[in-house]
Amino acid sequence: MTSVLVSGGTGYAGRFIVEHLLAGGYKVTVGGRTAPEPGFFSKDVPFVRLILDPDADQIEAFDNIYYFVHAAFDHLPGKYRGGEGNDPDRFRRVNLDGGVRLFETARDAGVRRCVFLSSRAAYGPQAGGALLTEDMQAKPDTLYGEVKLQAERSLLALCGHGFVTTSLRATGIYGPAGPGRKHKWAALFENYLSGTIVGRRAATEVHGEDVAKAVRLMLEADAVQINGETFNVSDILTDNHEILSILQRVTHCPHPLPEAADGSACNRMETCKIEALGWKPGGRDLLSWTIEQLAS
């Protein structure tokens, strides 16, 4: 079995990646600050301590590792944009400098491929309604987006024939959380079901399983097609009205739905580039099924 180290494997996105790779027959090791609780994953998974510290020598964590997926990110709980709190210097040091050090260590340890979980925040603000494509000029307006973009560029500088690298710009990731954790729409569901007025909001979303499929594709695709490349990973543009209408149908909740949001100014993400490699997201069928499962 091919060995994969997933940093941040116990995180919201990381757990999807770990579970999908396990189901695909990969030998997965989770790297992070603390070991997962028993039963957190569907199978027992080896754990190695891995921290975001540019001064740490962590090459032993990459012993016998063939692929490295970097999904770890240090931020205030529940926040990505603004996740630096009142300490932007530390935020940059651990997430950018610490992440780049892990890229370099993986390369030096003989890892063959490295996949970085980036974010649509790297694009920053674009013209209203403009389609986000991988070749457009990125201009992040948050420290989170800037750190993701700079990490992408640092990883690109390291790529070569023996170290294949790629970055995935994922949009809002949804889906079930791990045991004992709340999914991203838990507060939205609770507010609606309790009768609290919910405002209008539209956003692009992608299921965590589809993100995991994109990661696996980067591990299995022809190196020539992905080396040094960046790929958008996004699925649907939805809003609170659509999400809660599915919840309402399942729960028969009598509370009124928020008005539909105008999504015409939202920036959808073009995914033709990754779809050309065979990736296909679940669309609205998966959205509906997932909300039904979360509601139950």
pLDDT tens, position by position, for the chain (296 residues)?
689 999 999 999 999 999 999 999 999 999 999 999 999 999 999 999 999 999 999 999 999 999 999 999 987 666 666 667 778 999 999 999 999 999 999 999 999 999 999 999 999 999 999 999 999 999 999 999 999 999 999 999 999 989 999 999 999 999 999 898 999 999 999 999 999 999 999 999 999 999 999 999 999 999 999 999 999 999 999 999 999 999 999 999 999 999 999 999 999 999 999 999 999 999 999 999 999 999 98
> Which residues, other chains included, contact 222 with Cβ-Cβ below 8 Å and sequence gap of 6+?
none
pLDDT at 99: 98
Q: How many CB atoms lie within 10 A of CB 51?
A: 16
Stated pTM of the model: 0.96
Spell 184-195 as b/e; 16+ CB within 10 A means b. bbeebbebbeee
Spell 74-102 as b/e; 16+ CB within 10 A means b. bbeeeebeebbeeeeeebbbbbbbbbbbb
Rounded CA separation 220/90 (Å): 35
Cα radius of gyration rounded to whole Å, the chain: 19
pLDDT at 81: 66
